[in-house]
Structure 1
Amino acid sequence: MPRPSSREEVVAAAQDRFHRRGYHASGVKDITDAAGLPKGSFYNYFASKEDMAIETLRRYGQSRQLHRLGDQAVPPLQRVSEHFEFLRADVVNFGIGYGCMFGNFAIETSEHSEALRTFVREALGRWVGALAGALRDAQARGELPAGRDVDLLAAALVRAWQGALLHARVLGDPAPLDEFETGTLEPLLAKEKA
């Protein structure tokens, strides 16, 4: 009988280690030890630590639930608000000090790994695109002015969120995430008054 693959255990351990400790502070041995496997077994599943990091980032991206931004059963601006509420709850539940894996990798690896930088850039682009799609839906429903540049607005929201999250990490307090909602999200999504 073939032995079951331990790839999932390696990926889960890598995602936890990368998120909690960062890319450079998480070695292959540390990850395989956490998965309960010998170090050499890692190479049965991944060619390199960088390849494993890309897989963990891909899975992290799937956990961000971007598909919900396209849910036509929910009003568009509600989708956007609920998206950031979900992200806030996830950050608080996991631990504010650990931040967002995309932001962490952007800071830690962008100068050293073209493959990781490219993956993070594309992942952030998908996030901006999903937000822009919901904002376009809001324009079509008259919830946002037709002339508003929703691509720019979506990019600004992602960048503001990442900045608020970084500030929350520094303070060890979710207050900047709340300030993002009241000081950035709500004003940017408000209908312009005639």
Structure 2
Amino acid sequence: MGYKHNKEDILEVGYQVIRKNGYHHVGINQILKEAGIPKGSFYNFFESKEDFARQVIQYYGEGNRKWLQDIFQKSEETPINTLKSFYKLLIGYNEEDNFCSGCLINNLGNETGRLYDSLAEETKEQFDQWLDIIAEVARKGQEVKEITSSFTPKEIANYLHSGFYGTFFKMKVERSRKDMDTWLEMTFKFIKA
């Protein structure tokens, strides 16, 4: 009996390949080669390259959502320090990656957001779900008067995460964490109550 291909294994390969190379620089043949599957098996799971990318975004987003929830639920720090530690962790991950890849959602959103409605919608949905989790921590920080109440928790979450993603451009071109560190220091002074 032949090997049955696992959709999650293909999505994991797709995540790695697209995250490093982008959507337009990856062809289906490269995905097939990296995943070790025949073309027919690919089309058993995905209608097109765009459908594949949409499912990769969903797969990555769901994994990150669970990861975020786990980090924030296990934290024993105050809310503001929990958020600060989280962003320090992300900075460290990007440094370990030699500042090459950034975040799949950010990369694809910038690359394809205006070109493919299905990818833009999926990217926005995943990002918004992450913001809801971050907003809950911000809300707790407002309750204990650590975080400013001048803005809603969702606005603070959007400010935090969008601002952090904004540092990825310079991180990649300069191969440096300098702007991420500056963002971290300034941002947590700005949101402090």
* TM-score of the alignment, normalized to the shorter chain, above 0.5: yes
TM-score (norm 1): 0.87
Q: 1:38 to 1:114 in 2, by over 3 A?
A: same
Distance 1:96 1:73 in 2: 26
Q: In the TM superposition, what are the counterparts of 1:42-57 in structure 2 within 5 Å?
A: 42-57=42-57
Identity of aligned residues (%): 24
Q: Which residue of the partner structure matches residue 5 of structure 1?
A: 5
Per-residue Cα deviation, 1:32-60 (whole angstroms, up to 9, x for no partner): 10112222221122122222212222232
Give the 5 Å matches for 1:27-176: 27-61=27-61, 62-63=63-64, 65-68=67-70, 70-71=72-73, 74=76, 75-176=78-179
Paired with 1:107 and 1:6, the residues of 2 have a C-alpha distance of 29
The Cα of 1:119 is off from its aligned counterpart by: 0.9
AA aligned to 2:4 is P
8 Å contact 1:50–1:116 — kept in the other structure?
yes
Amino acid at match of 1:132: A
Question: For 1:97, what is the secondary structure of its paired residue?
Answer: coil
Does the residue aligned with 1:63 lie in a helix, a strand or coil?
Answer: helix
Is the Cα contact below 8 Å between 1:57 and 1:101 reproduced in 2? Answer: yes
Q: Which residue identity is paired with 1:98?
A: S
Which 5+ residue runs of structure 2 have no aligned equivalent?
none
Q: Deviations over 1:72-96 (max 9, x none)?
A: 7532112211221222122222341
Normalising by structure 2, we get a TM-score of: 0.88
CA distance in 1, matches of 2:112, 2:151: 34
Q: Deviations over 1:123-173 (max 9, x none)?
A: 221222211110101111222244443222211111210111111112111
Residue equivalent to 1:190:
192
Matching of residue 19 in structure 1 with residue 31 in structure 2:
no
Question: Displacement of 1:69 after TM fit?
Answer: 6.0
C-alpha RMSD of the superposition: 2.0
- Give, as a single letter, the amino acid of the residue that structure 1 aligns with 2:54: I
Summarize deviations over 1:95-126 as a string: whole Å, max 9, x none.
41212111111111111110100111112212
Contact 1:96/1:168 (8 A) holds in 2: yes
Between 54-63 and 19-28, the greater mean CA deviation after superposition: 54-63
Given the superposition, is the C-alpha separation of residues 174 and 146 from structure 1 closer, same or farther in structure 2, using an over 3 Å criterion?
closer
Structure with the bigger RCO (C-alpha within 8 Å, sep 6+) is: 2
CA distance in 2, matches of 1:12, 1:88: 22
Distance 1:181 1:73, change over 3 A: closer
* SS of equivalent to 2:100: helix
